[in-house]
Amino acid sequence: MELQIKDLNKTYSNGVQALKDVTLTIPQGMFGLLGPNGAGKSSLMRTLATLQQADSGSATLGDIDVLKDKAKVREILGYLPQEFGVYPKISSYNMLNHIASLKGVSNKSERKDLVESLLNKTNLWHVRNKSLGTYSGGMKQRFGIAQALIGDPRLIIVDEPTAGLDPAERIRFHNLLSEIGENTIVILSTHIVDDVSNLCNNMAIICLGEVVAKGNPSELTEGVKGRIWKKAIEKGDLEEYQFEMQVISTYLKAGRTIIHVLSDNKPDSTFEPSKANLEDVYFAEITSRMALSVD
Ligand code: ADP
């Protein structure tokens, strides 16, 4: 089963065009939707999760019309929104039991088996009787995945799931997602490049509502190979470099300012070649567009 999105458009009542002719094919497995804040990721996720209407375009999942057959989509959808509120006083065991019952798992022993397997899968068994309000950020996110998995979803959408997680919690969450991604479509929306390079076989970069790159992360990285150059500079000289060449990113290393420049040829003898990675692809796509939108 594939999710086919075609020419999706959305303009909010304040005039912001959040989605511009978005066209994507999303196969089974982990799909990364990468973009800076305000790119349109949540708008796309909410549309696919049937929580808001698009102005035009289509989305189909197998034979389901995602934009029209909302009830059908909800039957096969697991959604972990960006802001995931929990009832603080209830335990994860009781909450999952309750949601499973709402989702139609009416047989008591079947529900018990389901809840227990979800708690084990998301590594929450040891805290199953603790109230959700006492959970760490990572535990809350894993609980969010547990509830999203009820009903055996074919499409799972997770919106910015690792923001605020510490490194160990992030790794645990990644492992959980990639396990799930083996036989479902999982769309991971994020502004964190590493989340996508570590987890996803397919991806798209979205910026100012438009899909600006799509494909396999290694193939996209291959596309900028041999065109990334680096140099340590004086911080005060940054503007001059930005004026003269296409500086795609700037970062600090051991207190020094390093720039990455995209160029077919070595900008000058003071630059060194830099091994291209997905972050270079990402910044090469978004930096110039974001700069233009500010001007
Ligand atoms: P992202 O998830 O990538 O951060 P969003 O989809 O939340 O991006 O936002 C895309 C653009 O649409 C932004 O400019 C944002 O300010 C705007 N936007 C999002 N939701 C609304 C809304 N309900 N009403 C008006 N503008 C919105």
Strands 64-65 and 56-61: antiparallel
The residue whose CA is least distant from atom 27 of ligand 1 is 12
Tokens of 237: 């000289």
Q: Structurally, how many domains does the chain consist of? A: 2
Task: Indicate whether 173 and 285 sit together in one domain.
Answer: no
Q: pLDDT band at 177, cuts 50/70/90?
A: confident
DSSP letter for 75, please: H
Task: Indicate whether 228 and 210 sit together in one domain.
Answer: no
When pLDDT is averaged across residues 202-208 and rounded to a whole number, the result is 97
47 lines ligand 1 (CB under 6 A): no
Q: pLDDT band at 86, cuts 50/70/90?
A: confident
Backbone φ, ψ for residue 234 (5° rounding): -80, 135
User: Per DSSP, what are the bridge partners of residue 30?
Assistant: 186
Amino acid code (one letter) for 247: V
Sign of the torsion formed by the C-alpha atoms of 220, 225, 227 and 231: positive
Q: To test the ligand 1 pocket, which listed residue (9, 12, 290) has its Cβ within 8 A of the most ligand atoms?
A: 12
When pLDDT is averaged across residues 183-200 and rounded to a whole number, the result is 91
- What CATH number is given to the structural domain containing 153? 3.40.50.300
SS3 276: coil
Q: Is the pLDDT of residue 53 over 90?
A: yes
Ligand 1 center to 209 CA (angstroms): 9
> Would you call 213 exposed, middle or buried from its count of C-beta atoms within 10 A (0-12, 13-18, 19+)?
middle
Domain residues for the domain of 263 are 222-294
The residue whose CA is least distant from atom 14 of ligand 1 is 38
Ligand 1 center to 151 CA (angstroms): 30
- pLDDT in the model for residue 240: 95
When pLDDT is averaged across residues 5-25 and rounded to a whole number, the result is 97
The residue whose CA is least distant from atom 26 of ligand 1 is 12
- pLDDT in the model for residue 160: 81
Q: Which residue has the tokens 């089963």?
A: 1
The domain boundary residue, chosen from 215, 233, 268: 215
Q: Is the pLDDT of residue 70 over 80?
A: yes
For the chain, how are helix, strand and coil distributed in percent, rounded to 5? Answer: 40, 30, 35
The domain boundary residue, chosen from 215, 237, 272: 215
Ligand 1 center to 41 CA (angstroms): 8
Q: Is the pLDDT of residue 244 over 60?
A: yes
The residue whose CA is least distant from atom 15 of ligand 1 is 38
Q: What is the mean pLDDT of the chain?
A: 92
The domain boundary residue, chosen from 161, 189, 215: 215
Return d(Cα 233, Cα 236) in angstroms, integer.
8
Ligand 1 center to 38 CA (angstroms): 5
Task: Indicate whether 61 and 192 sit together in one domain.
Answer: yes
Give all strands (DSSP E) within 127-277, no chain letters.
155-159, 185-190, 202-207, 210-215, 228-233, 247-253, 256-262, 272-273
Task: Indicate whether 207 and 232 sit together in one domain.
Answer: no
Task: Indicate whether 191 and 232 sit together in one domain.
Answer: no
What is the arrangement of strands in the sheet containing 210-215, beginning at the earlier edge strand? 77-80, 155-159, 185-190, 29-34, 202-207, 210-215
151 lines ligand 1 (CB under 6 A): no
Q: What pTM does this model have?
A: 0.90
- pLDDT in the model for residue 179: 86
Task: Indicate whether 207 and 229 sit together in one domain.
Answer: no
Q: Is the pLDDT of residue 294 over 70?
A: no
Q: Is the pLDDT of residue 295 over 60?
A: no
